[in-house]
Amino acid sequence: MNLQQLHNYLEGQTEPVCAYLYDLAHLRRRVDTLRRNLPSQCKLFYAIKANSDAPILESLLQRSDGFEVASLGEIQRVRAVDSAVPVIFGGPGKTDAELEGALEHRVTLIHVESEHQLRRLDWIARQRNQVANILLRVNPAYVPQQATLRMGGQASQFGIEEARIPALIELALSLPGVRLKGLHIHAISNNLDALTHLALLEHYFDLAEAWQRRYGLAFDWLNVGGGIGVNYAEPLAQFDWEGFCAGLSALIAARQPGFGIIFECGRFLTADCGYYLAEVTDVKSNYGKHFAILRGGSHHFRLPVSWQHNHPFVILPRDAWPYPFSRPGVHHAQITLCGELCTPKDVLARDAHVDDLRAGDCVAFLLAGAYGWHISHHDFLSHPHPDRVYLDNCIERI
């Protein structure tokens, strides 16, 4: 999306602006480019929890290799747009009903996160005269440090610790209701560095190959998770995907792994197709600090609060000013961008420098397409929801 498209949207607005804009054409181009770089042994799935709206799923249907889901609700969201697209199902808390639902909806692979989950899945599959294709989710003993969130390499609720994997491989091989297809390792989130990500994958290859040798197995798949990052601090310095793919090709050429490699990325695919727009409804100073109040806030866009970062934004100036009195604003100042909620935590960027910002201008938060609307507490304080607009060649609202 370019700034002109954002301005075009603003033109038609009469109420204070509050909207998510998603650029589907950009999303399609982006995913096509990312896939072109990937070595042929690799599959690119989309982890839909980042943004599970139907227009996003429809846009990625033909362009990704399938969808990664983490609940029966997400399985149903995918099946609502396509009855056959490959689906892989992860998550630590799958209930019996969800495991049944997964088998019913012909999920391609189920990621097993514990011994109890493995036994329940086997039991349910056998009752249904089915065999579930599974990957065991490994919580690796070691992962590099550079990442915003860590699900592995430390004690956590995710997966099966490395030392327990041999016992679970043996158990899986003995159970008739499951078929072991390989391993799944999603240990970090928001890694910005291509070299450490490659080192991580090399380590995963080591683990998978060692267990293959030990059990005389030939895994079909190694799922290396998502976790490729988006740089919110410096939007122009993003993860070097091309360099990463070149390194991965070299790694694959050197190691010749027998298994295919699955990526299940969320943030990296959809973050930059989305913008969160909020109009400045007031500008004021309290005790020497400037504050802008927005029509919107963390109830629509919880990501900056959740990660305690200043979210990147651009200002869309607007000339119209309807009142017969002066317009509050700041010039070359540090200002804190706050939402409309009655909590001091409702801050999207703190002490950010702006050249000019006035009541009636609009702030467009960038990189808001993933983990924005979908992780937020929409009805806290009962303000109206944002307009949610999918821009394609035509404008579609949901």
Ligand X SMILES: *Cc1c(COP(=O)(O)O)cnc(C)c1O
79 near ligand X, rule: CB under 6 A: no
Q: Indicate whether 90 belongs to the interface with ligand X (CB under 6 A).
A: yes
Q: Residues 23, 68, 74, 346: which binds ligand X (CB under 6 A)?
A: 68
Q: Beta 178-184 vs 221-223: how paired, if at all?
A: parallel
Neighbours of 81 (CB within 10 A): 16
- Least distance CB 137 / ligand X (angstroms): 8
| Region 4-63 residues binding ligand X, contact defined as CB under 6 A | 47, 49-50
Pairing of strands 149-150, 160-161: unpaired
Segment interacting with ligand X (CB under 6 A) among 113-121, 208-216, 226-234, 375-383 = 226-234
The span from the CA of 229 to the CA of 7, in Å, is 29
* Number of amino acids touching ligand X (CB under 6 A): 17
147 belongs to the binding site for ligand X (CB under 6 A): no
Q: Which is nearer to ligand X, 261 or 362 (CB)?
A: 261
140 touching ligand X, by CB under 6 A: no
Strand 313-316 and strand 66-69: the pairing is unpaired
- The Cα 346–Cα 298 span in angstroms is 6
Q: Choose between 266 and 386: whose C-beta lies nearer to ligand X.
A: 266
Which residue has its beta carbon closest to ligand X?
Answer: 226
The reply to whether 226 sits near ligand X by the rule CB under 6 A is yes
CA atoms of 212 and 328, how far apart (whole Å)? 67
What angle, 0 to 180 degrees and rounded to 10, lies between the N-to-C axes of helices 115-127 and 165-174? 10
| Binding range to ligand X, per CB under 6 A, among 31-39, 165-173, 211-219, 223-231 | 223-231
CA-based R_g, the chain, Å: 23
Q: Which is nearer to ligand X, 177 or 225 (CB)?
A: 225
Nearer to ligand X by Cβ, of 244 and 268: the residue is: 268
Cβ 6 to ligand X shortest distance, Å? 25
Catalytic residue among 265, 273, 338, 342: 342
Candidates 225, 247, 312, 329; binder of ligand X (CB under 6 A) is 225
Asked if 159 is part of the footprint of ligand X (rule: CB under 6 A), the reply reads: no
- List, in sequence order, the alpha helices (H) in the chain: 3-11, 24-37, 54-61, 72-81, 96-104, 115-127, 165-174, 194-215, 241-255, 267-270, 303-307
Complex with ligand X: residue 260 or 328, whichever CB lies closer: 260
Catalytic annotation on 342?
yes
**278 forms bridges with which residues in the sheet?**
18, 363
Q: What share of the chain is helix, strand, coil (3-state, %, to 5)?
A: 35, 30, 40
Residue 179 in contact with residue 133, Cβ under 8 Å?
yes
In the complex with ligand X, which residue's Cβ is closer, 42 or 228? 228
Q: How far is the CB of 292 from ligand X (least distance, A)?
A: 30
> Of 162-170, 219-227, 311-319, 387-395, which part binds ligand X (CB under 6 A)?
219-227
Q: SS3 of 182, please? A: strand
Q: Which is nearer to ligand X, 59 or 294 (CB)?
A: 59
48, two tokens: 């839909």
Task: Count CA atoms closer than 13 A to 208's CA, side-chain side.
Answer: 29
For ligand X, the binding residues in 342-371 under the rule CB under 6 A are none
Rounded to whole angstroms, what are the CA distances from 246 to 35, 195, 259?
A: 13, 11, 19
Alpha-carbon gap, residue 94 to 88, rounded angstroms:
13
Residues 232-291, interacting with ligand X (CB under 6 A): 264-268
Q: Which is it for strands 289-294 and 329-338: parallel, antiparallel or unpaired? A: parallel
The minimum distance between CB 188 and ligand X, in angstroms, equals 8
CB of 227 to ligand X, least distance (A): 5
Read off the tokens for 309. Answer: 């970062």
CB 336 within 8 A of CB 353: no
Q: Does 189 bind ligand X (CB under 6 A)?
A: yes
- What residue ranges bind ligand X (CB under 6 A)? 47, 49-50, 68, 70, 90, 186, 189, 225-228, 264-268
Residues belonging to the active site: 342
